[in-house]
């Protein structure tokens, strides 16, 4: 639906898409709220706050709880199981019951809406759509980097011989790896860094990060890879 609206309007570049999304009569500005308020009922405010935090990068329950100042466990389960809006992610090689969970939004439109539109309702109400556009421009590169990672995860899972695919992070947050792709059939592990700009990919640093899970990777032939917009 959203792609059709953009294509019908001739919005085929990033700038044209953002111009359409942020114009005063844009159907995209209110769509997120209209879709979900009736679904969530009287507690929609809490659900919206949780989704906004996840979209902005606060993906651990402990972070969300501390900001909202309440236990959000039941809300997160509902968003995952009942509404199918978020997915629970655990680092590759973690045990099934691991508490090292991070949450992501499933729908790209809602991810964008909760990242940029919902937090800026006051700008929309004041008619300051040019400031909304400026805000998006300033934050867009970081956001699109996360979407690029999501794109490659889906592409690899669909096109390559994959038995497991996830990210990796340790308890200290010192060693984070964007993608680890396991092929148990051929015993190959692909360890990948994802960047919009290929010049920012650091294979030496990726090698050091992979060294933190040397034991887990020992039974695989390990391939290090950089993925960027040039690989789409």
Per-residue pLDDT reduced to its tens digit, 87-103: 999 999 998 778 889 99
Judge if 165 and 133 occupy the same domain: no
Residues 20/25/26/27 CA torsion (nearest 10 deg): -150
Q: What is the pLDDT of residue 1?
A: 58
**What is the average per-residue pLDDT within 8-27?**
80
Helices (H), the chain: 2-8, 14-22, 28-40, 44-55, 61-68, 73-77, 108-112, 121-125, 129-159, 203-211, 214-217
Decide: pTM greater than 0.75.
Answer: yes
Do 34 and 133 share a domain, yes or no? yes
Using DSSP bridges, classify how beta strands 102-105 and 164-169 pair: parallel, antiparallel or unpaired: unpaired
Specify whether 133 is located in the same domain as 23. Answer: yes
What does each C-alpha distance from 14 to 11, 21, 144 come to in angstroms? 8, 10, 11
Query: Of 47 and 9, which is predicted with more confidence?
Result: 47
Which of 153, 186, 211 finishes a domain?
Answer: 153
Task: Specify the pLDDT at position 173.
Answer: 74
CATH label of the domain that carries residue 74: 1.10.10
Number of domains in the chain: 2
CA 46, 52, 58, 59 dihedral sign is positive
Regarding whether 149 and 170 lie in a shared domain, the answer is no
* pLDDT tens for each residue of 33-76: 888 998 999 999 999 999 999 999 999 999 999 999 999 999 99
Of 122, 153, 184, which closes a domain?
A: 153
Q: Are residues 16 and 127 in the same domain?
A: yes
Grade residue 12 by pLDDT with cuts at 50, 70 and 90. Answer: low
Both 127 and 172 in one domain: the answer is no
192 in helix, strand or coil? strand
pLDDT at 20: 84
Domain limit, last residue, from 137, 153, 169: 153
Q: Are residues 199 and 138 in the same domain?
A: no
Residue 28 has pLDDT above 90, yes or no: no
CB neighbours (10 Å) of residue 38?
A: 9
Does residue 206 have a pLDDT over 90? yes
Its domain, for residue 197, covers 161-231
| Confidence tier at 2 by pLDDT (50, 70, 90) | low
Q: Does residue 3 register a pLDDT over 80?
A: no
- Answer yes or no: do 219 and 173 share one domain: yes
Q: What pLDDT was estimated at residue 13?
A: 75
- Per-residue confidence band for 6, with pLDDT thresholds at 50, 70 and 90: low
Please state, for a pLDDT cut of 90, what percent of the chain lies above it. Answer: 78
> What does the mean pLDDT of the chain come to?
92
Q: What is the pLDDT of residues 148-179, one digit of tens each?
A: 999 999 999 999 999 999 999 988 777 999 99
Shared-domain flag, residues 148 and 183: no
- Which is it for the CA torsion 61, 139, 33, 39, positive or negative? negative
What's the rounded mean pLDDT across residues 201-215? Answer: 96
Residues 137 and 91 in one domain: yes
Q: Which sign does the torsion angle of CA 74, 80, 81, 82 carry?
A: positive
| Same domain membership, residue 92 and residue 197 | no
What pLDDT does 179 receive? 98
- The answer to whether residues 147 and 165 belong to one domain is no
């Amino acid at each position: 639906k959203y792609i059709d609206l953009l294509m019908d309007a001739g919005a085929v570049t990033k700038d044209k898409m953002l111009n359409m999304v942020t114009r005063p009569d844009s159907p995209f500005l209110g769509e997120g709220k209209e879709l979900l308020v009736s679904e969530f009922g009287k507690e929609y405010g809490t659900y919206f706050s949780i989704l906004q935090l996840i979209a902005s990068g606060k993906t651990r329950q402990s972070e969300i709880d501390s900001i909202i100042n309440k236990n959000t466990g039941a809300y997160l389960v509902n968003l995952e199981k009942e509404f199918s809006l978020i997915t629970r992610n655990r680092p590759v090689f973690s045990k099934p019951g691991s508490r090292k969970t991070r949450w992501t939004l499933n729908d790209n439109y809602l991810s964008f809406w909760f990242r940029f539109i919902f937090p800026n309702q006051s700008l929309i109400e004041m008619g300051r759509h040019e400031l909304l556009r400026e805000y998006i421009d300033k934050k867009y590169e970081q956001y699109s980097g996360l979407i690029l990672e999501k794109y490659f995860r889906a592409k690899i899972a669909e096109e390559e011989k994959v038995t497991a695919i996830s990210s990796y992070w340790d308890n200290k947050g010192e060693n984070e790896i964007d993608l680890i792709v396991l092929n148990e059939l051929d015993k190959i592990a692909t360890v990948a860094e994802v960047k919009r700009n290929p010049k920012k990919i650091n294979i030496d640093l990726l090698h050091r990060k992979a060294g933190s899970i040397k034991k887990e990777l020992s039974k695989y032939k390990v391939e290090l890879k950089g993925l960027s917009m040039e690989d789409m």
